[in-house]
Structure 1
């Protein structure tokens, strides 16, 4: 049955105060990073100071998002060395994640940004490379108006409990399952 458009506002206006949010995009479906990048662009377009940290992609990566972010003058940093299954040295990968977390943590606590995205941060947290307790403590101590977006599969329950907004992306159908390879500029 079809439902027509709302003729009355379907919700009451919130009465709480505005403050920085912790937003998590998790789940096995596609779109976690893409949604975070869209939010990053929206914030940048409104004059907010933004920064992206990617915990899996490496510093020299030149994916489509990196080219767009550079053109939009949105700062980003690759902190990893690629997919774990392509790593030649997981101890080195863990070290990169730990060093990268220290850079991201300093940015979170710096008061220099309005929105920071920690892309694919759930992976090094779940692998024990980054302390979940340290992440939570850093989020608790961040500047009051700083928004932080965390992406990645299997977000830890404690992180979900702390977050203000959590979206779980779930696959319904994916071209890869039909044997269609990744499409340049669409997904990788």
Structure 2
């Protein structure tokens, strides 16, 4: 690389660094973050669990409520419960398996009461409400009640909600929204879900 090319590269990188530094300096508000991870792609829950692991890795406290996949053996639960992460599990599994709206609603409401307890616990730094979007979509949990609980949580508590088709009101309230897009999925090609990778 010529000296001129090196100089141009250095100038571009310095300009980029100055821009990043300015944005960091401008971001001075401290508060808990409300994040929604939605979309049709794979990895929403995995992303949420990654934040829980990060939280615990920094010596902070986290809790999880699982609304859909709770009846499966869960590698994340196996690991994180061992380091003190509380798990609340709805316990009915996929609602299309039970096909009983009354019992599914009761199970969702019971899990939601526990979620509200977590959302009022100032000792928790992160609360993951995994697959909650489905409960709102199916009408098992009222979206306005969810918004109220999140709005009234301790100021430094961060909350993550995962699941497809997040309600627009959740998206509007959220500080950060990520949409996971499906480009290609092994399951569509007939590949069985793999323990340790898919669950």
TM-score of the pair, normalised by structure 1: 0.91
Q: Which residue of 2 aligns with 1:140?
A: 151
Aligned residues: 184
Q: Which residue of 2 aligns with 1:154?
A: 165
Q: Which residue of 1 aligns with 2:40?
A: 28
Instruction: Write out the 4+ residue segments of structure 1 that deviate beyond 4 Å after TM superposition.
Output: none
Within a 5 Å distance, the mapping from 1:101-140 to structure 2 comes to 101-140=112-151
Q: Of the candidates 19, 39, 64, which is equivalent to residue 51 of structure 2?
A: 39
Q: Which residue of 2 aligns with 1:56?
A: 68
SS state at 2:69 partner: coil
Instruction: From the CA coordinates, give the structure whose radius of gyration is larger.
Output: 2
Q: Deviations over 1:80-136 (max 9, x none)?
A: 400111115321111010111111112101223111000000001111110100000
Which structure 2 segments of 5+ residues have no match? 1-8
Q: Which residue of 2 aligns with 1:98?
A: 109
Cα RMSD (Å) of the superposition?
1.8
Which structure 1 segments of 5+ residues have no match? none
Q: Which residue of 2 aligns with 1:183?
A: 194
Q: Deviations over 1:17-40 (max 9, x none)?
A: 110010011000000000000000
SS state at 2:196 partner: coil
SS state at 2:128 partner: strand
Asked if structure 1 preserves the Cα contact closer than 8 Å seen for 2:88 and 2:114, the reply is no
CA distance in 2, matches of 1:108, 1:48: 16
Instruction: Flag the structure with higher helix content.
Output: 2
